[in-house]
Amino acid sequence: MENWYLACYKAGKHNAFKAQMFLSQPQIDAMVFIPQICSYRPRTDRPGQLKKMIEPLFPGYMFICFDPEITHTSKISTCPGVSHLVRFADTIKPVNDSIVEEIMQLPVCVHSPVIKERKNKRMEQKNKTVLTTVQHDELMNVVAEKDGLTRSTMLYAFAQSVFE
C-alpha cells in the first residue's frame, strides 16, 4: 500500500530537483513533495530593500509517497539526489498521512496537480486518520519557526513522537 516516507536529499543546489525528476519517472512510480516557503531577505546591493526567496520549508528533507512492495526502498535510496530514507528505531516507517495532509493544506505550500489527483485517489481507498488538536498545534509551531534547520530538526522530532 502506498504511504508517505521521509527522506533526506543530498546537500547541493539542484539535488532535490534531481531526486524529484528521477522519482517521478513511470518505472519508479513515486510522488515527491518538497514543501517550500517564501521569505524576504535584505539585499546586499541595495540597502533598505528586500528580495524574495523561495526555500524549502524543511531544508534537507522531502516526503516521498510509494508502495514498498512495488518499488523497493533501495531504488529510492540509490536515486540521484537522495541521501537516504529516514529511519525511526532502525526501521523505515511511513509518516502519518495526516501530517503530510496538514502540511499540504498550508497556504505557503505549492504542489503540482498530479499530486492532488493521486492524493484524492489514495484517500478514497484509505481510512483517513486525523491529527489531534495537540499534534496539530505542535505541527503549526514547527512551521512557524523562522530558522530552516531548526524547523527540520523539529519536524524530525515531531514525526518520531507520532510513532511512539
Residue-wise pLDDT for 83-104, tens only, equals 999 888 788 888 888 888 888 8
SS3 for 37? strand
- How far is the first Cα of the chain from the last one, in angstroms, to the nearest whole number? 22
- CB-based contact 16:56 (threshold 8 Å): yes
pLDDT at 113 over 50: no
Query: Going by C-beta distance under 8 Å and a sequence separation of 6 or more, which residues neighbour residue 86?
Result: 5, 6, 7, 8, 61, 92, 156, 159
Residue 126: the pLDDT is: 53
Residue 127 DSSP label: P
Give me the residue label for grid cell 501530517: 99
pLDDT at 163 over 70: no
Q: What is the pTM of this model?
A: 0.78
